[in-house]
């Protein structure tokens, strides 16, 4: 078990451990070495030494473990290019997929309201993750302001109903188109940018949208937010009493009034949209535009010399991602019934990005799992809510060590025509 390999050097290990212990000693000296006792100060000089000793042994142990077979399997990440595994034939397990989709569709009829709302939130993040995955995972354009499109979608529903009288069903395509055009608007100025520069500009874009929503009080309601109406089903309303001339949903079907029906409706529509979007994204990758996205991620110069129109490719990636984000926004607004700019901060962008990175850049299934995990885990860990961000950060660090290419690294089918 503890057979170390040839690279292991006892001398190097001890030197590393001594250095680590020294740093630990210096670090712990002011923290544990000095005790406040009322107004007096007591020294507890032995404590830093004990802690430093623990660090020394721990460092030695780590050094030994990473040189064993077990440790190598645990710690050594796969090489950079091993990241994308190209699968030759379709090996999708169709029957499993059907089972999952079927469970997804019947779930709301057996679920409590609480878990239904959690599921809606999870699906919203799945949608956001799918959208950002197109931009970051496939086209390789690091977008730190993705929340902007989410906000555009949410506000186009809330403000659309306020000023244009749009309902939920008209708001869906409206928000999709509006968000997609915002994606294109962001796309134009950043066509020539790469990497860090692109990230900063998109970050700025996300903040600009939030600040506009926050400060254009006359139009958006500013920090007071805007309310979004409840969705309707073929004109049936989900409130206790319908507006003039309408029939509430529960009366029509002779049911008792409950708020769960509206969530069931939102859930079902959302689930359908997620299924369709998953299929669309999977299909797009097989198509020339999807190939072009991936080629762009790999090498832009090569793309241009091969005759790929990088303007079209970049703008389509931004628009496609933004459109999906916008759809997620509509569901968020419908689910909350009320939105304000504080839901669309940079933290939200970071969370969506974390979903994409944790899931595996470019991996559709990975992103879905990551989104579900990252929304449901905090609910399960309510008792540890103080440590939520700590756990979040630690899991990120561990992921980067063990699975640097994400939970389910991108595996894709070989392009069809090869």
Interface with another protein by CB under 8 A: which residues? 80-84, 86, 88, 288, 291-292, 294-295, 298-299, 301-302, 304-310, 414-415, 417-418
Residue 84 or 177 having the CB closest to another protein? 84
Residue 35 or 414 having the CB closest to another protein? 414
Rounded CA gap, 44 and 34, in Å? Answer: 6
Sign for the CA dihedral angle at 308, 314, 317, 320 comes to negative
CB of 352 to another protein, least distance (A): 23
Residue 304 or 388 having the CB closest to another protein? 304
Burial of 415 (0-12, 13-18, 19+ CB in 10 A): middle
CB of 309 to another protein, least distance (A): 4
Residue 113 or 304 having the CB closest to another protein? 304
CB of 307 to another protein, least distance (A): 4
- Could you tell me how far CA 95 lies from the centroid of its own chain? 27
Residue 91 or 418 having the CB closest to another protein? 418
> From start to end of 226-283, where are the E strands?
226-227
CB of 77 to another protein, least distance (A): 15
Residue 65 or 289 having the CB closest to another protein? 289
SS (H, E, C) 149-197: HHHHHHHHHHHHHHHHCCCHHHHHHHHHHHHHHHHHHHHCCCCCCCHHH
Rounded CA gap, 165 and 241, in Å? Answer: 20
Rounded CA gap, 390 and 373, in Å? Answer: 16
Rounded CA gap, 98 and 118, in Å? Answer: 22
CB of 137 to another protein, least distance (A): 12
Burial of 263 (0-12, 13-18, 19+ CB in 10 A): buried
Judge whether 160 and 220 are in contact, CB under 8 Å.
no
CB of 74 to another protein, least distance (A): 23
DSSP 8-state assignment for residue 411: E
CB of 409 to another protein, least distance (A): 11
Residue 359 or 362 having the CB closest to another protein? 362
Residue 250 or 403 having the CB closest to another protein? 403
Which strand (E) or helix (H) includes residue 413? strand 411-413
CB of 191 to another protein, least distance (A): 12
Rounded CA gap, 262 and 336, in Å? Answer: 11
**Each residue of 310-348: b (16+ CB within 10 Å) or e?**
beebbbbbbbbbbbbbbbbbbbbbbbbeebbbebbeeeb
CB of 362 to another protein, least distance (A): 9
Rounded CA gap, 121 and 270, in Å? Answer: 10
Residue 262 or 412 having the CB closest to another protein? 412
Residue 295 or 330 having the CB closest to another protein? 295
CB of 286 to another protein, least distance (A): 12
């Amino acid at each position: 078990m503890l057979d170390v390999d040839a690279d292991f050097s006892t001398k190097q290990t001890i030197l590393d451990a001594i250095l680590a212990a020294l740093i630990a000693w210096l670090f712990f000296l002011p923290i544990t070495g000095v005790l406040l006792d009322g107004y007096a100060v007591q020294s507890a000089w032995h404590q830093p030494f004990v802690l430093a000793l623990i660090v020394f042994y721990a460092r030695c142990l780590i050094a030994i473990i990473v040189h064993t077979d077990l440790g190598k399997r645990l710690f050594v990440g796969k090489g950079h290019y091993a990241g994308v595994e190209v699968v030759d034939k379709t090996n999708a397990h169709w029957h499993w997929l059907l089972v999952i989709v079927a469970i997804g569709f019947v779930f709301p009829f057996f679920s409590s309201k609480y878990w239904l709302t959690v599921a809606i939130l999870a699906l919203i993040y799945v949608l956001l993750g799918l959208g950002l995955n197109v931009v970051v995972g496939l086209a390789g354009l690091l977008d730190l302001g993705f929340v902007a499109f989410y906000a555009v979608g949410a506000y186009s529903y809330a403000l659309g109903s306020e000023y244009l009288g749009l309902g939920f069903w008209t708001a869906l395509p409206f928000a999709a188109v509006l968000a997609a055009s915002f994606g294109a608007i962001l796309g134009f100025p950043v066509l020539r940018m790469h990497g860090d520069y692109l990230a900063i500009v998109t970050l700025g874009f996300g903040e600009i949208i939030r600040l506009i929503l926050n400060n254009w009080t006359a139009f958006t309601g500013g920090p007071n937010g805007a309310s979004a109406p409840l969705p309707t089903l073929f004109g049936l309303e989900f409130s206790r009493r319908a507006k003039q001339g309408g029939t509430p949903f529960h009366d029509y079907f002779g049911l008792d009034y409950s708020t769960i029906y509206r969530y069931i409706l939102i859930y079902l529509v959302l689930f359908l949209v997620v299924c369709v979007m998953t299929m669309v994204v999977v299909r797009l990758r097989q198509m020339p535009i999807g190939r072009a996205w991936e080629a762009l991620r790999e090498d832009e110069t090569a793309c241009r010399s091969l005759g790929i129109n990088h303007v079209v490719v970049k703008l389509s990636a931004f628009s496609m991602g933004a459109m999906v984000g916008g759809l997620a926004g509509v569901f968020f607004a419908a689910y909350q019934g009320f939105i304000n700019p504080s839901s669309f901060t940079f933290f939200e962008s970071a969370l969506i990005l974390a979903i994409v990175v944790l899931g595996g850049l470019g991996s559709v299934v990975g992103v879905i799992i990551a989104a579900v995990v990252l929304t449901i885990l905090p609910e399960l860990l309510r008792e540890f809510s103080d440590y939520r961000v700590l756990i979040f950060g630690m899991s990120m660090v561990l992921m980067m060590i063990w699975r640097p290419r994400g939970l389910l690294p991108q595996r894709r089918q070989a392009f069809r025509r090869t």
